[in-house]
Chains A and B, each alone.
Chain A
């Protein structure tokens, strides 16, 4: 069985701080990490590999050459191969173009049974690329999945796909693309053995020279259907009224405000 995991490098935002003047993120010490939901996708792939014989896992990412470090990190979870899809002409691709490039790259990798993605990246939060890859490859999809179970024949999976008020149990024929959420598993800490093994695995780098089937009119800034035309600061500072005093004084004033607002 062949599994492909798609990952994205995102800025490390758990420890972000703000420039207090305009509420922008202070980027001076922001690191690139594997998108947290993609770690769940990696973990799920590794669990499938532990369960069945003859499973190979490839990880793929599109981005600048600096993403190589992130792919190296992904390999330490016990994956078999890594592909970095990188070309200057890919820069500025929106989700449509990104999914198209990734789908063409996956076709170039060859046969696969299952593609796993995180449900969305924490920097863009569109959650679109997974479905768009599935459409490009004309395979079934299930999104926001918290559980994957294999049928005995390994040709069909049963998944639980989260909804607003519960979940849906779906039967999906392979090959398929599944996007996973953080409920599906808790990603492990890579073992020393796997991390050492990863050092020996080269990152396979593909550009447009290798991916000859890519239609250049569908990629990059010019090929993307959506264009970002403006960026503006959005947080107008509010005139915050501060209440101070002893806890009793604060509560008295707060109580009055709640009363004015008809809460009490």
Chain B
């Protein structure tokens, strides 16, 4: 493999119906910075059939080019045809970096594709930069050690990574930016390896879209029993917050996994994060430490959550929260 043959940064575009995902714009934001540093083009790659979303937005958010592959077999996501299509495009245009969203689709697709292309893949990168030799510096927390690890893919291309939502910010869209759309065609032949989509079920997620929330009231084992969750719900409705939860109470079945913040749950980055009765296991801290402002209420002064908190309250949530609710409702 001649590394010099690989140029440019690619972002895999994820969308539903006619709407490009917010995460895609976040990926374009960091992709733009990397492309400028390398002085190369930033491109979006979009797969689908009769794609209806407004592709100009990809230019507004920083893309120089769009590679678009339309095929009836790409109408909904399936592992093999999507892998085949991306393999074809990567081998034809040879990007040096390929960034995919760490979503259910991205996490299914990225490793399959990386293996097909015989290249490296780093999951859930949280910091990216370009090294003096032009390599992509991939940083991520090592969950088991609570360290930051730095990863390179020095001898393989493209350098592939996935990124979770709310890790990077989109750049301010520039409505005057435009670029070139390259339409690609590829014959895809159905094989035994293709899964068949029988149904796509969308579930009512209550108010649990915690990744979009500006304020999160999060709750852990300190709540003692599921009946006490009413207190947290009351507080959250007073201040228009979403409810987050630690893994322990999700595992106990006290609250649905949609609320789970942390390692096996969601990464959140709200303006205000209020941790109630959460000791702050490493799993949890990883998912919330980037919040703008963190308030922690816990009885145990040694609780690790205080180490990442801006405001620490050593006290009993059952004493403090009811008084706070009263004050918030009376005004």
Q: Which residues of A contact B (CB under 8 A)?
A: 10-11, 13, 16, 18, 20, 23-25, 94-96, 99, 120, 122-132, 134-136, 138-144, 158, 161-173, 183, 224-235, 237-238, 240-244, 247-248, 250-252, 254-255, 257-258, 261, 263-264
Contact = CB atoms under 8 A, between A and B. Distances in A.
B contact residues, range: 35 or more
A82 B274 CA distance: 47
A263 B154 contact: no
B48 interface: no
A252 B285 CA distance: 27
Given A131-B112, A173-B193, A261-B271, 5 more contacts: A18-B304, A99-B111, A131-B110, A140-B193, A169-B198
A10 B193 CA distance: 32
19 contacts: A18-B282, A96-B120, A125-B143, A134-B112, A135-B111, A140-B195, A143-B107, A144-B108, A161-B104, A170-B195, A226-B121, A228-B149, A228-B150, A238-B308, A242-B306, A243-B313, A247-B319, A257-B311, A258-B272
A171 to B, nearest CB: 4
Contacts of A25: 144-146, 282
Contacts of A16: 281-282
A140 B144 contact: no
Q: Is the interface of B mostly helix, strand, loop or mixed?
A: mixed
Given A162-B104, A248-B323, A231 B271 contact: no
Interface of B: 79-80, 83, 103-105, 107-108, 110-112, 114-116, 118-124, 138, 141-156, 192-203, 205, 215, 239, 257, 263-264, 271-272, 281-283, 285, 289, 293-295, 302, 304, 306-316, 319-320, 323-324, 327-328, 331
B116 A225 contact: no
A209 B101 CA distance: 40
A170 B197 contact: yes
B146 A168 contact: no
Nearest to A162: B104
Contacts of A18: 146, 282, 304
